[in-house]
């Protein structure tokens, strides 16, 4: 009986440290953020320019964090199966560029392509209109799984490990306030929920899997940002300041 308690204690300690170990390991991997603009370029001349007064980024955490989720233990006499699930939340530490800078530059680039009004972070000084952007929520979550299977034979045993990455889910909420001479004339929130399929979920080695896992989360954020910015520019075009 004592051995069972010791075994369970060891398993418990191992599963607690596993999330800490994964968090430490994921800090080694950074993925580039970016996307391909596929909107048509509007070559209209003499476009007006509005100034982005502020972009507040409260949404994204500074460090990628890992926490434990419900797992599974199947302790049979000849077959043992342990499944550890961990919830990973993306932080700035896993993104190569600053998310704030990426958002600003993508907004400016998209407005230059498809916007009737160019959005710029340098104040042209003539237009009374300005834009205030608040990144309210920026959550990218995913699941990372580690399985251990042990098979006992009469005089020998076999042990195998497997690590798996799951699709990442992004929840992005951005509020845009259009101002005229400092007064808000219109306000709208843009909500994007996106699930990014993880195509290479069973890599041969765990280093590549963890690198791909980070890239998948950043890809999800990139494409959600793309959708949010495109919607914002479309609305600005309709507003036609």
Partner 1 sequence: MKEYNNHNLTKYNFAILILFLGMFCCTPPKYIVKKQSELIKLDLDNAIVNFIPIPDNELIISNLLDSSFNLLINKKYRKLDKYINSKESSGIDTPDLFLSKTLLLITKKEYSDAFQSLTKIHDSDYSLLKKLLILDLNYEMARMNGNFDYNRFLKDYQSFLDSYPDDLTLKRIILIRLRYLRYNY
- What is the Cα–Cα distance from 124 to 36, expressed in whole angstroms? 28
Helices (H), the chain: 2-26, 99-114, 206-239
Part in contact with partner 1 (CB under 8 A); list of ranges 36-44, 124-132, 178-186, 232-240: 36-44
Residue owning tokens 């990139």: 222
Say how many Å lie between the first and final Cα of the chain, rounded. 77
Q: Which is nearer to partner 1, 85 or 106 (CB)?
A: 106
Kindly tell me which residue out of 75, 124, 128, 197 binds partner 1, with binding defined by CB under 8 A: 197
- What is the Cα–Cα distance from 14 to 6, expressed in whole angstroms? 12
Residues 80-99 that bind partner 1 (CB under 8 A): 96-97
32 part of the interface to partner 1, by CB under 8 A: yes
27 part of the interface to partner 1, by CB under 8 A: no
Helices and strands in the chain: count of H runs, count of E runs: 3, 9
- What is the Cα–Cα distance from 84 to 66, expressed in whole angstroms? 12
Kindly tell me which residue out of 3, 4, 5, 38 binds partner 1, with binding defined by CB under 8 A: 38
From residue 197, alpha-carbon distances to 16, 61, 217 in Å are 28, 22, 10
Q: Which is nearer to partner 1, 140 or 178 (CB)?
A: 140
Kindly tell me which residue out of 11, 18, 21, 37 binds partner 1, with binding defined by CB under 8 A: 37
Part in contact with partner 1 (CB under 8 A); list of ranges 20-28, 79-87, 183-191, 207-215: 207-215
Structure tokens at 177: 């306030």
12 part of the interface to partner 1, by CB under 8 A: no
DSSP H or E stretch at residue 67:
strand 65-68
Q: Which is nearer to partner 1, 125 or 205 (CB)?
A: 205
CB 217 within 8 A of CB 195: no
71 part of the interface to partner 1, by CB under 8 A: no
CB 140 within 8 A of CB 168: yes
181 part of the interface to partner 1, by CB under 8 A: no
Q: Which is nearer to partner 1, 41 or 154 (CB)?
A: 41
Q: Which is nearer to partner 1, 31 or 176 (CB)?
A: 31
Part in contact with partner 1 (CB under 8 A); list of ranges 27-35, 45-53, 82-90, 183-191: 27-35
Residues that bind partner 1 (CB under 8 A): 31-32, 34-38, 40-41, 96-97, 197, 199-200, 211-212, 215, 218-219
């Amino acid at each position: 009986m004592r051995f069972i308690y010791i075994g369970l204690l060891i398993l418990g300690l191992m599963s607690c440290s596993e999330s800490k170990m994964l968090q430490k390991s994921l800090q080694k991997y950074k993925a580039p953020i970016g996307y391909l603009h596929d909107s048509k370029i509007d070559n209209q001349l003499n476009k007006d320019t509005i100034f982005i007064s502020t972009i507040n980024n409260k949404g994204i955490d500074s460090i990628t964090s890992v926490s434990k989720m419900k797992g599974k233990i199947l302790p049979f006499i000849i077959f043992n199966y342990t499944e550890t699930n961990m919830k990973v939340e993306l932080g700035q530490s896993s993104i190569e560029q600053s998310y704030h800078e990426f958002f600003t530059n993508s907004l400016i680039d998209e407005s230059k392509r498809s916007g009737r009004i160019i959005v710029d972070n340098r104040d042209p000084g003539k237009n009374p209109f300005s834009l205030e952007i608040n990144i309210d929520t920026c959550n990218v979550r995913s699941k990372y799984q580690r399985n251990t299977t042990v098979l006992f034979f009469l005089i020998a045993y076999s042990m195998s490990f497997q690590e798996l990455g799951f699709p990442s889910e992004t929840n992005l909420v951005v509020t845009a306030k259009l101002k005229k001479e400092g007064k808000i004339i219109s306000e709208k929130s843009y909500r994007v929920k996106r699930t990014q399929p993880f195509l290479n979920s069973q890599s041969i080695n765990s280093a590549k899997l963890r690198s791909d896992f980070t890239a998948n989360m950043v890809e999800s954020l990139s494409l959600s940002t793309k959708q949010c910015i495109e919607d914002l520019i479309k609305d600005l075009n309709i507003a036609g300041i």
